[in-house]
């Protein structure tokens, strides 16, 4: 394998790790944010009667 | 071909679930802000998920896969440029923090605060045209993907795509940004999983050495060095870097995620972390495209090669999950784009013909009707329009129609006190000229005199749009300071 292919491999690896790493983080914590968002809207509904 | 009944069942169950979730979200819409920016309550992790899902459609996989197939590793530069640009916007808050502080829902709304209602109207029209033309090819490329992966004929495909579009239009029309955020999150999880499966399947069958050998054999040095590859070069790199900064800060479907954030600080974090994913977002499908070159060899239709390879390498069952992931990606992109462009036509074009805005309920209804009409346009345009160059370049040139002028108007509006109405008009018009010239003249390249041929080079037209817009803003403002003094924003004008 040439040096060029090796360099692009390392860059790809970093890019892919960052993508799937951030995706895993956002998927786990996003669920909590989503639940909170919907709960707050429901509370607003009760308060305003909408 | 590995597509089976099991895969079909997975896809149908997924589509029904997504539809149910989208309709369920309607109950959370309380008012216009709830409909368009989810009440501005979106936090960091949810913001990242919905932003990534918006910016990842099947079209994204298709154009990056196509680039990987025709240019090898050298196209990885695009992923690096996108990551640098979006992380820059996120870490500095360039434009997005300012826009979020003003509390606008669409970008042209800022034009009215900083310039005038007429500038907002012109900006709204250009944004709408550029955005809808940009979105016009999504359906076509999704079609090519599904045809190749599922092995259905083109006729069945048209039906599948129409059904998918109808589902997305209906839940976006009813639930607005709440539907977009909730379904985006679910679709983000499914599409990330689908991408992981496809990448493992590809690299399991074809190791990096095999990919490198194929690139060396079929593309040579052009497959490794973006400066040597004739599709890229310095002009392309500068254009795409500026374009990514502009798109990152000002592309309505993405920026609406910043505008929906809880605060300017949350908006910055969402953009920074999403920026980190942008290298992988590009390189993962590019590797699939390179794998298609190694597996199928050159000479295949460039857009169809990647999905064709996936249909043969990804095992039964997993193929259904992958397609569900791709459908998820498409639906989340369609819904966010539909909402963005229909919001713009309702608030920044139709409403601007009146001295005051419509009541909130009327705006929501106009937005809903506009989303339906845009959906019909997508079906017709996508089926009949033949794109020039690669899909990637078409998307960036149609995007430049709006982002070039918008970058001049918004950045000058936020950071330069002398920016005035004349500068804004000039920037918007001059920014749109070069891309529009490219789209029209590219079809009649043979009839053009030699001195005008440069405009049919997509990279020149793209870069020129930003140069012309910036020049228009600076000169237009400086020469007319006496007759058109720059407006100062008062506290009362901030929504």
- Quick one: average pLDDT of A20-43? 80
ipTM topping 0.95: no
Residue B382 lies in a domain: yes
Phi, psi of A3 (to 5 degrees): -60, -40
pLDDT of residue B398: 86
- Which of B113 and A42 is assigned the larger pLDDT? B113
Q: Report helix, strand or coil for B455.
A: helix
Q: What is the DSSP string of B219-253?
A: HGGGGT-TTTSTT-SHHHHHHHHHHHHHHHHH-HH
Residue B483 lies in a domain: no
Do residues B140 and B395 make contact, with C-beta atoms less than 8 angstroms apart?
no
pLDDT at B389 over 50: yes
Q: What is the DSSP string of A7-40?
A: HHHHHHHHHHHHHHHHHHHHHHHHHHHHHHHHHH
What CATH number is given to the structural domain containing B21?
Answer: 1.20.1730.10
B494 φ/ψ sector (left φ>0, alpha ψ -120 to 50, else beta)? beta
Residue B434 lies in a domain: no
B296 φ/ψ sector (left φ>0, alpha ψ -120 to 50, else beta)? alpha
- Identify all chain A residues contacting B47, using CB atoms and an 8 Å cutoff: 33
B433-461 tens-digit pLDDT: 988 888 888 777 777 787 777 778 888 88
pLDDT of residue B135: 85
- Which of B179 and B215 is assigned the larger pLDDT? B215
Q: How many domains does chain B have?
A: 1
Name the B residues in 53-82 with CB < 8 Å from any A CB.
Answer: 73, 76, 79-80
Q: Looking at the complex, does the CB of residue B203 fall below 8 Å from at least one CB of chain A?
A: no
Question: Whose CA is closest to B411, among B266, B240, B250?
Answer: B250
pLDDT of residue B39: 56
- Identify all chain B residues contacting A35, using CB atoms and an 8 Å cutoff: none
Query: How many angstroms separate the CA atoms of B239 and B407, rounded?
Result: 13
Q: Which of B280-294, B391-405, B439-453 has the lowest mean pLDDT?
A: B439-453
Which residue's structure tokens are 């539909």?
A: B338
B48-75 tens-digit pLDDT: 888 888 788 888 888 899 999 999 999 9
List the structure tokens of A39. Answer: 């709960």
Handedness of CA B92, B94, B97, B101 (dihedral sign): positive
pLDDT at B34 over 70: no
Query: How many angstroms separate the CA atoms of B232 and B123, rounded?
Result: 30
pLDDT at A46 over 70: no
> Which residue of chain A has the CA closest to B195?
A20
Do residues B433 and B468 make contact, with C-beta atoms less than 8 angstroms apart?
yes
Q: Which of B160-169, B397-406, B477-486 has the lowest mean pLDDT?
A: B160-169
Interchain contact, A34 vs B283, CB within 8 Å: no
pLDDT at B166 over 90: no
- Quick one: average pLDDT of B191-204? 89
- Measured CA to CA in angstroms, residue B307 lies from B35, B143, B295 at distances of 36, 11, 12
B213-255 tens-digit pLDDT: 999 999 999 999 999 999 898 999 998 999 999 988 888 777 7
Mean pLDDT across chain B: 84
Nearest to A44 among B30, B178, B209 (CB): B30
Q: Which of B18-22, B79-83, B276-280, B297-301 has the lowest mean pLDDT?
A: B18-22
- Identify all chain A residues contacting B181, using CB atoms and an 8 Å cutoff: 34, 37
pLDDT at B257 over 80: no
B79-88 tens-digit pLDDT: 999 999 999 9
Nearest to B76 among A11, A30, A36 (CB): A11
Q: Which of A31-40, B49-58, B125-134, B199-208 has the highest mean pLDDT?
A: B199-208
| Exposed / middle / buried, residue B307 (Cβ in 10 Å: 0-12, 13-18, 19+) | buried
pLDDT at B366 over 80: yes
Half-sphere exposure in the Cβ direction for B238 (13 Å, CA): 12
Q: Which of A30-44, B196-210, B294-308 has the lowest mean pLDDT?
A: A30-44
Half-sphere exposure in the Cβ direction for B257 (13 Å, CA): 36
Do residues B400 and B134 make contact, with C-beta atoms less than 8 angstroms apart?
no
What is the DSSP code (8-state) at residue B349?
I
- Identify all chain A residues contacting B196, using CB atoms and an 8 Å cutoff: 20
Range of the domain at B343: 5-387
- Identify all chain B residues contacting A41, using CB atoms and an 8 Å cutoff: 28, 30, 34, 39, 41, 178
Query: How many angstroms separate the CA atoms of B232 and B442, rounded?
Result: 18
pLDDT at B38 over 60: no
- Quick one: average pLDDT of B475-486? 93
pLDDT at B161 over 60: yes
């Amino acid at each position: 394998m040439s040096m060029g292919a090796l360099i692009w491999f390392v860059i790809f690896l970093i890019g892919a790790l960052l993508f799937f790493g951030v995706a895993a983080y956002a998927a786990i914590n996003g669920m909590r944010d989503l639940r909170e968002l919907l709960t707050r809207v429901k509370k607003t509904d009760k308060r305003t009667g909408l | 071909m590995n597509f089976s009944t099991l895969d079909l069942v997975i896809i149908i169950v997924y589509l029904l679930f997504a539809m149910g979730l989208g309709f369920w979200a309607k109950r959370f819409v309380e008012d216009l802000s709830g409909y368009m920016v989810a009440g501005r309550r979106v936090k960091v992790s949810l913001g990242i998920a919905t932003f990534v899902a918006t910016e990842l459609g099947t079209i994204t996989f298709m154009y990056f896969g196509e680039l990987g197939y025709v240019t090898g590793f050298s196209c990885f530069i695009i992923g690096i440029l996108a990551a640098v640009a979006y992380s820059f916007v996120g870490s500095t808050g360039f434009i997005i923090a300012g826009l979020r502080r003003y509390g606008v829902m669409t970008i042209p709304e800022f034009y009215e605060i900083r310039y005038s209602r007429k500038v907002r109207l012109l900006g709204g029209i250009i944004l709408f045209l550029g955005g809808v033309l940009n979105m016009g090819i999504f359906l076509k490329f999704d079609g090519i993907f599904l045809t190749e992966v599922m092995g259905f004929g083109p006729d069945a495909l048209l039906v599948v795509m129409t059904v998918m579009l109808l589902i997305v239009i209906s839940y976006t029309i009813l639930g607005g940004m709440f539907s977009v955020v909730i379904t985006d999150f679910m679709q983000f999880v499914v599409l990330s999983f689908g991408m992981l499966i496809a990448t493992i399947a590809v690299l399991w069958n074809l190791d990096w050495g095999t990919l490198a050998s194929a690139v060396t054999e079929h593309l040579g040095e052009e497959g490794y060095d973006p400066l040597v590859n004739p599709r890229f070069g310095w002009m392309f790199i500068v254009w795409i870097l500026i374009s990514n900064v502009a798109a990152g800060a000002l592309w309505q479907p993405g920026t609406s995620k910043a505008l929906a954030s809880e605060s300017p600080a949350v908006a910055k974090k969402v953009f920074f972390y999403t920026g980190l994913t942008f290298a992988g977002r590009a390189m993962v499908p590019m590797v699939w495209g390179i794998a298609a070159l190694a597996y199928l060899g050159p000479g295949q239709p460039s857009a169809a090669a990647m999905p064709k390879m996936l249909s043969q390498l990804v095992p039964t069952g997993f193929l259904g999950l992958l397609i569900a992931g791709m459908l998820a990606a498409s639906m989340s992109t369609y819904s966010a784009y539909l909402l963005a462009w229909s919001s713009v036509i309702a608030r920044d074009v139709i409403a601007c013909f009146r001295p005051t805005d419509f009541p909130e309920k009327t705006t929501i209804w106009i937005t809903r009707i506009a989303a339906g009409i845009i959906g019909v346009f997508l079906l017709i345009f996508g089926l009949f329009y033949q794109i020039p160059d690669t899909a990637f370049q078409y998307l960036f040139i149609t995007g430049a129609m709006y982002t070039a002028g918008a970058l001049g108007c918004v950045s000058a509006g936020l950071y330069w006190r002398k920016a005035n109405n004349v500068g804004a008009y000039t920037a918007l018009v001059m920014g749109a000229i070069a891309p529009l010239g490219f789209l029209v003249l590219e079809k009649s390249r043979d009839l053009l005199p030699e001195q005008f041929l440069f405009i049919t080079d997509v990279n020149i037209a793209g870069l020129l749009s930003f140069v012309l817009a910036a020049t228009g803003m600076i000169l237009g403002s400086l020469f007319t300071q006496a007759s058109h003094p720059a407006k100062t924003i008062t506290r009362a004008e901030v929504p």
